Each structure stands twice: as structure tokens, then as C-alpha cells.
A = this chain, B = another copy of it.
């Protein structure tokens, strides 16, 4: 068990770098903050490299910490934790976790969410959490979509990323692959060339594509789908937030009789 008190420690610099894409690729690790996320990572058997904890963590999470080998544990001062945390109130526990660069598809069935150029970390995180609740099998992070290992995304996913298959990839290629496997692929489109989500049919295997906050799903992808879908609006709002639209659609798909 190590101890890091000084905020000038070299190790801290490394962990801080895990907040950047470059740093994550360099060290092949990412950084998790707070007990809920670290506990979910542990429960779901993610490869935890280092557990960092403060004095409060040591007192409050003793049983949890006892499950780890001493060589994995690092006691850090509050100051040191503050220096590497992205939170306004630094957590009592954090961890570095092995980044699975190439996540391969484990099971080619069920319901999938494809993210096309979705940029807001909160929107993306919330959609992954909703996908989990709706019983979806996985998510594909397409081009332009925010990185799933970014601190804000990790926080908003609340650990749901550990319950689902998470893949980064080219959506055009994945649409082709899914269609070959007889998946029904839905796009989302605001205009009425699409069909209302109320007219969806029950499908065991399907993929739903949602798109950028401003532009929606790219035209190129919309042309490749089996069916495009819209949510009617009854008031004067011009559109729905993408995470709300995705929530309504995923639950519709999951609960069709």
C-alpha cells in the first residue's frame, strides 16, 4: 500500500492525464471517480488497476477496500485527490481501470442503440443509463459522438456502461453488419417522411439510430435504414431533446406487445 501526500507526485500527473483521450490511449487506462462507479466496475469484473482512497474513504469503505491487494491500493491526501478529480467535491475513492481498446461484439441479438455524432456528455450518459433500464443489449458510439471514457459521460452513465456492450465504430459498417444478421434498423427523423413511433411493430432484434443535437441523424445513414421513425409533437415545441426522444423510443420498442 502506497501513500501519496504531495500534489507534486509523478503518479498524480499520470492519473490526471487519463482525463484526456491522449492520456487514456497512452496508458490504456481510464479514471473512475466515486464509490458508486468504482463499486459497479468491481461488481461487473472490470480490470481495476489502482484504487485510490482518502482518509474518509479509508474509514467509510473499509470492507470494500479489504477486497483489494495492498499493491493495488494507494492512500492519497485530500489535496492530492482534489488535484486529479474533475468533481467540485472530490470523491473519497477513485480507480484506474483497464481500457478495453477493442471491445468485440459478444452477442449478436437484442436491441441496440447507435449514436451518430451525439456531442453532449450528459445526453450520451443519460441515454446509456436509459438503454440499460430498457433492457437494451448494447450501444455503438459512432463518429463524432463524445468519448465514453470522458469523466462527464462516465458520471452520467452511472455504471450502466458496465451492464451493456459498448462499441466504438463506424455506423455505416455496423448498419451493414446488423442488417446481414436480420436486424431491423430504425433511423430517427423529425419530418413526416418517417412513420410515427406509435406504429412500430414488435421486433426481437433491432437497432435504433439517434443523432446529433442540432442536425439529427446524418442523411447518409437515414438512407441505409429499414425504417425511419418520428415522435409527433402536439404543442408548440419544435423538437425534443435527443435523450428524451431516445428514452421514449427505447421504451416503446421494449414494451411493445
Binding site for B on A (CB under 8 A): 122, 126, 129-136, 158, 160, 163-164, 198, 231-237, 239-241, 243-244, 247-248, 251, 254-255
How many angstroms between the C-alpha atoms of A126 and B232 in the bound complex?
Answer: 17
Q: A130-B237, A163-B235 are in contact. List 7 more A-B contacts (CB 8 A).
A: A122-B122, A132-B236, A133-B231, A133-B233, A135-B235, A160-B235, A198-B255
Cross-chain contact of A244 among B130, B136, B239 (Cβ < 8 A): B130
Cross-chain contact of A240 among B129, B163, B240, B255 (Cβ < 8 A): B129
How many angstroms between the C-alpha atoms of A158 and B236 in the bound complex?
Answer: 11
A133 touches B251 (CB 8 A): no
Count identical subunits in the complex. Answer: 2
B164 touches A132 (CB 8 A): no
- Chain B residues near A244: list those with CB within 8 A: 126, 129-130, 243-244, 247
- Chain B residues near A241: list those with CB within 8 A: 126, 129-130, 243
A237 touches B122 (CB 8 A): no
- Chain B residues near A136: list those with CB within 8 A: 235
How many angstroms between the C-alpha atoms of A39 and B126 in the bound complex?
Answer: 30
Q: Determine how close the nearest CB of chain B comes to the CB of A239; give it in whole angstroms.
A: 7
Could you write out 5 A-B pairs with CB less than 8 Å apart? A132-B233, A134-B235, A160-B237, A163-B237, A247-B248
- Chain B residues near A131: list those with CB within 8 A: 235
- Chain B residues near A248: list those with CB within 8 A: 247-248, 251
- Chain B residues near A132: list those with CB within 8 A: 233, 235-237
Which residue of B is nearest A233, CB measured? Answer: B133
- Chain B residues near A237: list those with CB within 8 A: 129-130, 132-133, 158, 160, 163
How many angstroms between the C-alpha atoms of A248 and B248 in the bound complex?
Answer: 5
Cross-chain contact of A231 among B129, B158, B198, B251 (Cβ < 8 A): B251
Q: Determine how close the nearest CB of chain B comes to the CB of A243; give it in whole angstroms.
A: 7
Q: Determine how close the nearest CB of chain B comes to the CB of A102; give it in whole angstroms.
A: 24
- Chain B residues near A129: list those with CB within 8 A: 237, 240-241, 244
Q: Which of A126, A132, A235 has the most CB of B within 10 A?
A: A235
How many angstroms between the C-alpha atoms of A233 and B247 in the bound complex?
Answer: 12
